[in-house]
Amino acid sequence: MNNYIDKFIEYLKYERNFSDYTVLNYNEDLKSFCYYLEKNKIENIKTIDYQIIRKYLVFMHNKKLSKKSVARHISTLRTFFKYLKLHNIIDNNPMTLISNPKQSKTLPKFLYKEELDILENIPDNDTTLGIRDRLIMEMFYATGIRVSELSRINIKDIDFNEKKILITGKGNKQRIVLFGDTCLKLINNYLDNSRNYILGDKDSNYLFVNKKGTRLSENSIRIILKDILKKSGLNIKLTPHILRHTFATDLLNNGADLRTVQELLGHENLKTTEIYTHITNDRLKKVYNSCHPRAKK
């Protein structure tokens, strides 16, 4: 079983181009599944059927995992068994009859302008790392890209004249994202006054680098954002995805159409993008209720 998992993880990394964070979650989910199989003395992967999967879901339910966690485990197993079927390792896919648990709808969190302004002023522009970290904040907000995409930006993929970047996203799909004058200024400042000092005598094609001369990892970027939040004193959450949500929400609030936002975010399905309209509608209601004289009782 472990041998199949190792090959599957390699497939996700190198063929599907999944992010380090996603691959880590897949690996952890499959370890949990492996533990369950070993505990129940199930050794032959071809004998795993619908009933075994159902019992595993009951096992997870008894562990009091949230619906979101269970849904993630199901998604992992669905991708795993699809891979096994594709490579003729199993004859029947036991996941075909399994459906995800119903999720309670939660709106994506986003930052208000005042919060974003405070956070963006935390990195020290007089230091090499501060210049880099300020650009990271701006790059997320200006482009709406994922942390895995930001980590892998190559300098040659940036068009400085047109202010656009060729991004390689999930499943090696490419798209163009745009950025503005503020971001351009910060990129140039970083390239002139920070990046070479961080690299020292080393060389790299990646835009964001660390002192070892290698690509700044997704985990390192998350740690940078946590540090910025801690220094700000704000009682909010700050993650790469929240900055991505803020990008989408602000575009829609300022008149962008849904299709454009979908393309910029790299969403395959318009329904994934539609959740942001709930945020903008909610904000409109709040503004109306607080400002219109006849909205109040």
| Number of neighbouring beta carbons within 10 Å of residue 239 | 15
Residue in 152, 195, 215, 244 annotated catalytic: 244
Helix ranges, 161-217 (H): 181-193, 195-199
Tokens of 184: 């351009």
Catalytic annotation present for 26: no
Tokens of 130: 């501060």
Catalytic annotation present for 14: no
Catalytic annotation present for 206: no
Residue in 109, 170, 222, 283 annotated catalytic: 170
Q: Which amino acid is at 58?
A: V
Catalytic annotation present for 292: no
Q: Which amino acid is at 174?
A: Q
Strand order across the beta sheet in which 158-159 lies: 158-159, 164-168, 174-178
Residue in 13, 78, 109, 241 annotated catalytic: 241
Q: How far apart (Å, rounded) are the C-alpha atoms in residues 152 and 208?
A: 8
DSSP letter (8 states) at residue 214: S
Residue in 141, 276, 292, 297 annotated catalytic: 276
Residue in 73, 146, 152, 195 annotated catalytic: 146
Catalytic annotation present for 61: no
Catalytic annotation present for 73: no
Question: Would you give the end-to-end CA distance of the chain in angstroms?
Answer: 65
Cβ proximity of 123 and 134 under 8 Å = yes
Cβ proximity of 166 and 157 under 8 Å = yes
DSSP letter (8 states) at residue 212: T
Active site residues: 146, 170, 241, 244, 267, 276
